Amino acid sequence: MKCTRCRAKAEVELRAHNAGFCRPCYLFYFRRQVERAIAAERMFTHDERLLVAVSGGKDSLALWDVLAECGYATTGLYLGLGIGAYSARSHEKALKFAEQRELELRVVTLEEEGPGLAIPDVAAATRRVPCSACGTMKRHFFDTAALAGGFEVLVTGHNLDDEAARLMGNVLRWQRDHLARQRPVLPATHPKFVRKVKPLYLISEYETAVYAFMRGIDYIVEECPNAVGATQLLYKDVLNRLEHASPGTKQAFVQEFFRSGQPAFAAVENEEPQVCGQCGMPAYGTLCSFCRLVRQVEARRSPPGAAAPA
């Protein structure tokens, strides 16, 4: 196969785009895809300060690489989840990436927050599945870090496969409030929220992996141990089978939802956040979901007979 751009020998074939690229043209294509998404969705400008959430995995590091190369003002944020050797190795990858490129990386470690909030401990104390506790932690600490650092935008590395799997989960249960909030740009709906954006939302996991490989990015290849058996992976598998039979399915599913489905849900599901009575962050209810979770952890750790901490 020949490169669609320069007719040299292609190194990558993208069936969904009916295209193939040599290495230099692929790197050009990938960056242009990211820049197009940023411009088309008005995600951010070169004058804004971006906080990039990095996990040590390929998507977030590839994204940080592109944004830094394109001259955006970026700072990385690594959230240490306390998931044993997996967290230690992913922290190492994020640190090394930042050091090599002389980029600033901020680190928040869950073990050192509140009463000690490592994901396995919180999951055990509250009998919640780890991924549910993890989602609440990520949202809270990303929001508070962005606010405390005075950043205008929080950038995450969610890719097309993530968005398609999430959409499938939301549709299968018709979670209208979740469908209303699933979009590539979430404007700041409260003075304590910053804008949240996903520049890779139309770029597949495969495309990001190829970019990371070509750029020599050293990322954590292994999945989080809690991902095994997670429904997200089942949805990704189903979607990959559909994609294999009909290339372009994932992109059409996600893009059409954002174009026509999401605005319809947003029009009827527009609940404004209140203020959390405990931490002062935005909340849907008297306490935000983070503070509710922390209370559960504290209540479970209190000695029998003692009152739960306020």
Q: Which residues bind Zn ion (CB under 5 A)?
A: 3, 5-6, 8, 22, 25, 276, 278-279, 288, 291
If contact means CB under 5 to 8 A according to the sort of partner, which of Zn ion, ligand SF4, none does residue 226 touch? ligand SF4
Minimum CB distance to ligand SF4 smaller for 4 or for 132: 132
Q: What is the nearest approach in angstroms of ligand SF4 to the Cβ of residue 156?
A: 13
Q: What is the nearest approach in angstroms of ligand SF4 to the Cβ of residue 248?
A: 27
If contact means CB under 5 to 8 A according to the sort of partner, which of ligand SF4, Zn ion, none does residue 54 touch? none
- Residue 269: exposed, middle, or buried by beta-carbon count in 10 A (0-12, 13-18, 19+)? middle
Over the range 29-64, which residues count as b (16 or more CB within 10 Å of their CB) and which as e?
bbbebbeebbeebebbeeeebbbbbbbbbbbbbbbb
Q: What is the nearest approach in angstroms of Zn ion to the Cβ of residue 140?
A: 7
Q: How far apart are the C-alpha atoms of 188 and 302, rounded to whole Å?
A: 37
Minimum CB distance to ligand SF4 smaller for 12 or for 94: 94
If contact means CB under 5 to 8 A according to the sort of partner, which of Zn ion, ligand SF4, none does residue 288 touch? Zn ion
Inter-axis angle of helices 205-214 and 23-40, nearest 10: 130
If contact means CB under 5 to 8 A according to the sort of partner, which of ligand SF4, Zn ion, none does residue 248 touch? none
Minimum CB distance to Zn ion smaller for 141 or for 265: 141
Q: How far apart are the C-alpha atoms of 10 and 302, rounded to whole Å?
A: 62
Minimum CB distance to ligand SF4 smaller for 131 or for 209: 131
Minimum CB distance to ligand SF4 smaller for 76 or for 130: 130
Q: What is the nearest approach in angstroms of ligand SF4 to the Cβ of residue 290?
A: 15
Minimum CB distance to Zn ion smaller for 25 or for 137: 25
Q: What is the nearest approach in angstroms of ligand SF4 to the Cβ of residue 168?
A: 17
If contact means CB under 5 to 8 A according to the sort of partner, which of Zn ion, ligand SF4, none does residue 119 touch? ligand SF4
Q: What is the nearest approach in angstroms of ligand SF4 to the Cβ of residue 296?
A: 17
- Contact positions vs ligand SF4 (CB under 6 A): 81, 119, 130-131, 134-135, 224, 226-227, 230
